[in-house]
Chains A and B, each alone.
Chain A
Amino acid sequence: MADTTVTKTAEPVSSAAMRRQMLREFWFYFSENRGAVLGLIIFVALVIVAIFASLIAPHSPFEQYRDFALLPPAWAEGGNPSYLLGTDPVGRDILSRLIYGAQYSLFIGVFVTTLSLTGGIIVGLIAGYYRGWIDTVIMRLMDIILAFPSLLLALVLVAILGPSLTNGMIAIALTLQPHFVRLTRAAVMAEKSRDYVTAARLAGAGPIRLMFRTILPNCTAPLIVQATLSFSNAILDAAALGFLGMGAQPPAPEWGTMLAEAREFILRAWWVVTFPGVAILVTVLAINLMGDGLRDALDPKLKRS
């Protein structure tokens, strides 16, 4: 990875300088992909909207303006400029609900990805480092999880644990985890026989240090790419669970739950259905755009082509 930093000087390259160089190189490839930069901009904007939701949102997401139920968007006939994207069947401001919904989606993405990533890395490191029966058991377990369609498994798990956003997120994290396990395991197996690992072992590094300090940092590229994929998958699956009534529960302004509540009004009020879906699509699209850019920037094989 660091071959570009090798210089003719006899002085050793400091690790801080190397890291800076790697970051610069990464940014160079990432910023070449215009889609990825666009995705990043949208994503940052979403994060800002989520953090400052209470300042940006014109209304409370829960306040029911009963006199203004099912108001169309401001620009349509009968719209009211104070409710820019219209109101839902009980008179709540859709724009405000969408703004607060960004908090839900981003939190879901962060929580699920962190959970499945840490779980997957630990299990994958153990499987790849120790091999033998422990590896066989772990990989068969992952095969079992992968044998079920992820949404079905999440749905059934939530049916067991009880419908709530927390249970939904745990269930989704469990279905996404095998991908991290497989990736980590494959990378560890490839790295384990390299000379630097042997050198570290001879220098007296214990298995924990070998796994986490020596091997893991060299397996991060595919994991980062998979993490962005999981982030968008988590948002989609959580919205699907919400839509099926098994995720976040009303009156939470979660986008999928908003769609579920709006379903019976689809032929009467297009806006209650359209905007939450646009919010989901734009968020997921932005993350996937970033994911493509990350893959191009981090995967040296694709870089050269």
Chain B
Amino acid sequence: MFGFLLRRIAVLIPTFIGVSIIAFSFIRLLPGDPVALLSGERVMSPERHAQISAQLGMDRPLIVQYFDYLGGVLTGDFGSSIVSKKPILDQFWALFPATVELSFCAIVIAVALGIPAGVIAAIKRGSIFDQGLMGIALVGYSMPIFWWGLLLIILFSGTLQWFPVSGRISLMFFFPPVTGFMLIDSLLSGQQGAFASAISHLALPSIVLATIPLAVIARQTRSAMLEVLSEDYVRTARAKGLSPFRVVGIHALRNAMIPVITTIGLQIGVMLAGAILTETIFSWPGIGKWMVDSVFRRDYAVIQGGLLLIAAIIMFVNLIVDLLYGLINPRIRH
């Protein structure tokens, strides 16, 4: 297992270097002067240009600049935002919990509904249930989630007024962030109604973000179950007279879960992309909205740092998924 871990990490290193080269070079590939882009100053005299260029270290050879950048990244220095002048890593850590909280709720919804739906569809293969569930799953899979979010806002925030339109908690409540996770912080604050407010703010965005993963997990669970249900050991279990619940729940589901777990892991990367749209629609202050805002503010330093951080997180999550996969399915380790 340890060798497997080392091999997986060894493959990641060149990918990470490549990702850092892309993040480093994109700002220098932009049409326009990178010094002006990085300093945010549009018009400057040649002296000022030289001064800033030296200040940013951009008068040195590219290769030196790259290793300087990489060295900074590895020691946690991602540079500072052009607009707010704050260190990028600090901003990232302040916003990241919001995205994690949203993604976590979404993945819980997707797994809690997707796996049972897939199992039921597989057991009742060809029935109305199966066709109905898989029809809904395909609609969910085809959903433009930015539109889906707007529809839910029209219905639940506009017409029914059940849920708020945007933000993480009502402005009535104020407490210092302890963990950064609103659900936990609101409980810790002890304020009446704070937790309920946090939940109601989280409801619509997490439903929207859960939609596509839910559909993918349901479809994947169904096909994995169908494959497993036709295996000999399931027939044996049936022949032994085990209850259908035991056959499906214990014997079949466990083995069907192996590909499903990979799918769930891959959905986490998909979610970070989905968070870009979901957070924009619901003004959710996470890293997805941060990236979109930075693109519009032309805050290239943040785009550069954010790109690298997000890619690093996805690579890390994929590594964990790989390891989990190796753990539950020993065949894959070699």
User: Chain A: residues with CB nearer than 8 A to chain B?
Assistant: 35, 140-141, 143-144, 147-152, 155-156, 159-160, 162, 232, 236, 239-240, 243-246, 256, 259, 263, 266-267, 270, 273-274, 276-277, 280-281, 284-285, 288-289, 292, 305
Contacts of B150 in A (CB 8 A): 259, 263, 266, 273, 277
A164–B301 Cα distance when bound, in Å, is 23
Kindly identify which residue among A151, A159, A263 contacts B277, using a CB–CB cutoff of 8 Å.
A151
Residues of B with C-beta under 8 A to A236: 142, 144
Q: Is the CB of B144 within 8 A of A239?
A: yes
Would B311 and A267 count as touching, CB distance under 8 A? no
* A164 CB to nearest B CB, Å: 13
Question: Chain B: which residue is nearest A160 at the CB level?
Answer: B30
Taking each of A149, A159, A236, A280, which has the highest tally of chain B beta carbons within 10 Å of its own beta carbon? A149
Interface residues of B in 133-158 (CB under 8 A from A): 135, 138-139, 141-144, 146-148, 150-151, 153-154, 157-158
**Interchain CB contact under 8 A, A288 and B19:** no
Instruction: Give Cα A144–Cα B227 distance, bound, in whole angstroms.
Output: 33
Q: Which B residues are in CB contact (< 8 Å) with A240?
A: 144, 146, 277
Report the minimum CB–CB distance from A122 to chain B (whole Å).
21
Q: List chain A residues, Cβ under 8 A from B31.
A: 160, 162
Give B281 Cβ to nearest chain A Cβ, in Å.
Answer: 9
Chain A residue at minimum C-beta to C-beta distance from B275: A149
Task: Confirm or deny: B113 has a beta carbon within 8 angstroms of a beta carbon on chain A.
Answer: no
B residues contacting A by CB (< 8 A) are 11, 14-15, 18-19, 22, 26, 29-31, 135, 138-139, 141-144, 146-148, 150-151, 153-154, 157-158, 226-227, 230, 269-270, 272-273, 276-277, 280, 291-292, 295-296, 298, 303, 307, 310-311, 314-315
Asked if residues B303 and A147 are in contact (CB atoms below 8 Å), the reply is no
Q: How far is the CA of A165 from the CA of B153 in the complex (A)?
A: 28
Interface of A is mostly: helix
- Contact call B147/A160, Cβ cutoff below 8 A: no
A289 contacts B138, CB within 8 Å?
Answer: yes
| Cβ–Cβ contact A147 & B315, under 8 A | yes
**Chain B's interface: helix, strand, loop or mixed, by majority?**
helix
Q: In the complex, what residue of chain A is closest to B27 when comparing beta carbons? A: A160
- The answer to whether A155 and B158 touch (CB under 8 A), given A144-B18, A240-B277, is no
Instruction: Give the residues in chain B near A284, CB-CB below 8 Å.
Output: 142-144
Chain B residues whose C-beta falls within 8 Å of the C-beta of A246 in the assembled complex: 295
Q: Are A277 and B272 in contact (CB under 8 A)?
A: no
Among A141, A156, A270, the most chain B Cβ lie within 10 Å of the Cβ of A156
Verify A280–B147 contact, CB threshold 8 A: yes
Q: Which of B141, B273, B292, B303 has the most CB of A within 10 A?
A: B273
Q: Which residue of A lies closest to B14 (CB)?
A: A140
In the assembly, what is the distance between CA of A232 and CA of B139, in Å? Answer: 12
Contact B315 A152, beta carbon cutoff 8 Å? no
A259: B residues at CB distance < 8 A: 146-147, 150
Closest to A286 in B: B142
| Min CB gap A157→B, angstroms | 8
| A277/B144 contact (C-beta < 8 A), A140-B15, A156-B295, A266-B154 known | yes
Residue among A144, A150, A151, A155 making CB contact with B22, cutoff 8 Å:
A144
**Within the complex, what minimum Cβ distance (angstroms) separates A54 from chain B?**
26
Complex alpha-carbon distance, A140 and B307, angstroms: 18
B15 / chain A contacts, CB cutoff of 8 Å: 140, 143-144, 147
Given A285-B138, A288-B141, A292-B138: A149 and B146 interface contact (C-beta under 8 Å): no
B22 near A232: Cβ-Cβ < 8 Å: no
Assembly CA distance A156 to B150 (angstroms): 24
Cβ of A148: which chain B residues have Cβ within 8 Å of it? Answer: 19, 307, 310-311, 314
Residues B146 and A305 in contact, CB atoms below 8 Å apart: no
